[in-house]
Amino acid sequence: MAISLTKRIPTGRPLDASENDYNLTTIENALNNFGFANNSVCIGGTPSGLYKLEVNGIQLVYADLQFSGFSVQNKYASSSVFGVCYFDFQNELGVRKSHIFSTIETDGGSTQNFAVTASGTPRSTDARYTALSIKANGTVQPGSDNVQTLGAVSSRWSVVYAGTGTINTSDENEKTLSRSLSFAELSAASDIKQLVKAFKFKDAVAKKGNSARWHFGFIAQEVANAFINNQLNPENYGIYCSDSWYEKTNWFKIIENENGEQFKVDCNQSDPDAQKEIITQQNEAEGFELKTRLGLRYDELACFLIAVS
C-alpha cells in the first residue's frame, strides 16, 4: 500500500511556521514503512502476527538494544486488566537479550487493588507472578513474602520517613539453634562498645561543607576487626554486611540530527557537552570495576552490646 500526501494551502493567510516546517516526504516515508498482515500492524517491517502492534529498528537511548516486538492488548478476559505489554529486546545482530511480559491490573472487585505482574513467558497465566501490589487503602506490598528487597547496595534510598520503627520477625517458631553468647562473642561485644565514633558523611561534606551534620555510630571495618581479634569470623554474623557490585563511569553527550531527533553518543570527559553516568551491574564484565560497600544491622548490634552492658 502506497501513501502520498498533498499540502493543503489555507486561503486568505500565509502558512504559519509549523505548516512550513513539516516535511511531506518524511511523513510519507514513515507511513509507507508500516506493514499490515493477520490483523497486525508493524512499523519498520513485516508483522509476525504474534502482536497487534510491532515496532522494529528503534534504537534505545540507554542501551545497544532494539525493540523487536511490542504489544499492547487486553490479554485477559477480565476487564480489570488495563495494560498488558510484552517487550522482546534484541541486539544489533538480532540475538534475543531479554524479554519482559508485564501487566498492570485491578482485582476487579469493589476494593480496586492494583497489581504489577511480570513473566518471562508471554501469554501464559501460569508463569505470571505479582511483582508489586498496591492496596486500595494505600498499603504497598511486595509480590512474595520475605524475598524482595527495597533498594539495592548500588541503588539506595536516601531517607525513610516513618511514624514508627520497623518490625523484624522474632517469632520462636521461625528460629533454630537458639543459644547464649559465647565467651569470645561477649569479649568482641565489649571491645565494640569502645568503638563509638562521631563522623560526617563524605557526600554531605562535599555538598554542605562545614554545615554537614555530625553522626554517631560505628565503622564497619572496626567492628569486623573486633570479631577477628577474638578469633571470630564477622561474615558468620548478621550484624556485619558486605555487598559487592560492578561499576563503570561513562561519559556521553546528546546530539541532534537534521530531523531533530536526539541521540546519546559516548564522548571524552573533556568534551564541553559531556555528561556523566554511573552504570552498575551484578556480573563481572570488561571495563567494570568491582565495588564493595560495608554495613551494619544496628538493631542486631544494639542487642549484641546489651549483653555486656
Per-residue pLDDT, 40? 73
Q: What pLDDT is recorded for position 33? A: 62
Residue-level pLDDT at 66 = 36
Distance CA 1, CA 52 (A): 19
DSSP summary character for residue 9? P
pLDDT for res 63: 32
Alpha helices in 39-145 (DSSP H): none
> For each successive 10 residues of the chain (309 residues), what is the average pLDDT?
47 48 51 66 70 55 36 38 44 44 49 54 45 78 85 89 91 93 98 97 96 97 98 97 93 87 88 91 91 96 94
Match domain 177-309 to its CATH number in 1.10.10.10, 2.40.100.10, 3.20.10.10, 3.40.1390.10: 1.10.10.10
Residue-level pLDDT at 184: 98
Q: How far is CA 38 from CA 6, 84, 252, in A?
A: 30, 20, 42
- pLDDT score of 140: 84
Query: Which residues fall within 8 angstroms of residue 220, CB to CB, at 6 or more apart?
Result: 240, 241, 294, 295, 296
Q: Tell me the backbone φ, ψ of residue 127, rounded to 5 degrees.
A: -90, -5
* Amino acid in the structure at residue 298: Y
At 34 the pLDDT is 65
Q: ∠207-210-216 over CA atoms, to 5°?
A: 90
227 grid coordinates: 570479631
- Identify the pLDDT of residue 181: 97
Kindly report, as residue ranges, where domains of CATH 1.10.10.10 are found in the chain. 177-309
